Amino acid sequence: CARSPMQCRPGHNLWQPTVPAANYITRSQSTPIAHTTWLRGGGADGPSSPFSVLRLAEDNLLNAGGAVHRRQYGGLLAEGTSEPPDWTELFEDPTRPLIVDVGCGAGRFVLLAAWLGKVPHIVCGGSTAPVHALAGQPCNALGLEQHAQLVSRANHWASAQGLAGRCAFVAANVKPSLTAVLASYPGPIAVLAIQYPDPHYREDRHVVTPSLVADCAQLLSEGSLLLLASDVHATACHMTQMFTAHARAQFQLHPLHGKQEAVFEHDGRDDIDPYISKLRAGPVQPAVAEAGTAVLEGGERWLMHNPLGLATEREVFAQEITHRSVYRTLLTRTSG
């Protein structure tokens, strides 16, 4: 490979160059920086970052809408919202195809989608292929997040950048309420992404459950895309296995997984963030520990690049700062 070793690492994104250390806040490998510290310091918005087009640092918006305190995860087990939003208040044209980020965190993935303004094409090795008939059409972008402070700040960002009306964030607990939030959307859901959920090792706290899988099958129409991604191998395996086990008739692997140049296999290394490993409550559950087997038919074939060309904060941090692989699965909703 003519690129640097980091750029050739499996799971590296398509937004190229390796980011110079001066543009991000980083530390030596012996003292790794925490993801939250990196975000608070403005690391996600350096000049070589894919988020630089949002001008959040340039326009002094990093803390707009108030300070964001430590996230609390007890709400994962609480009741979610039962009322759908008023789509006419959120979007100028609620009949446009919708891109949804479930558990959007700070929200830069959604902001990027709105900034681009169109349903993305599938990206592979520099070439593109249509997602489906909706590819290239004007779209809306929606972020769902249970942390109200993050939602408030992200909506402030969208308004300040002139993206309101095409981009919105809603406070919602997606585990019990995904269908309640999305079922009334007037237009089609083109892309639904579940990316980098916190890798809880308690089975009752996994974001992707059989009920959430059923919600996704109900909400998505034939041809819609579902993107699963994590930098923790066991979490990526769990999410993919939930869909293959509980919705095999409704979802199939995107043909991109069949292209040798587009995939990689797990190399057996432990990719768990050292800060995350401190948060484990008890031993890893057997179902998670054994998740590396039979994830995908024919073996593990994770997508090497982000097929949508849209990054998340965690993706940049994992690949550019801590140099870990990202495990991606792209599913297509079938007619089943």
Tens digits of residue pLDDT in 193-242: 999 987 766 666 788 999 999 999 999 999 999 999 998 888 899 999 99
Does 106 have pLDDT greater than 70?
A: yes
Beta bridge mates, 302: 264
Its pTM stands at: 0.82
Does 104 have pLDDT greater than 80?
A: yes
Lowest mean pLDDT across 16-25, 132-141, 187-196: 16-25
Is residue 199 within 8 A of residue 166, CB to CB? The reply is no
- Please return the burial class of 200, using the count of CB atoms within 10 Å of its CB with bins 0-12, 13-18 and 19+: buried
Is residue 170 within 8 A of residue 181, CB to CB? The reply is yes
Model pLDDT, residue 232: 87
Select the more confidently predicted residue: 123 or 113: 113
The SS3 assignment for 308 reads coil
Beta-carbon count within 10 A of 195 CB: 24
Nearest partner of 248 among 336, 156, 148, judged by Cα: 336
Using alpha carbons, list the distances in angstroms from residue 223 to 63, 328, 334: 38, 18, 6
**Residue 65 Ramachandran class (φ > 0 left, ψ -120 to 50 alpha, else beta):** left
Is 198 part of the annotated catalytic residue set? Answer: yes
* Highest averaged pLDDT of the listed ranges 144-148, 160-164, 264-268, 317-321: 160-164
* Cα 13 from Cα 306, distance rounded (Å): 5
Does 277 have pLDDT greater than 60?
A: no
Model pLDDT, residue 69: 59
Residue of 45, 198, 271, 273 marked active site: 198
Does 183 have pLDDT greater than 90?
A: yes
In degrees and rounded to multiples of 5, residue 257 shows phi and psi of -65, -15
Q: Calculate mean pLDDT across residues 245-268.
A: 88
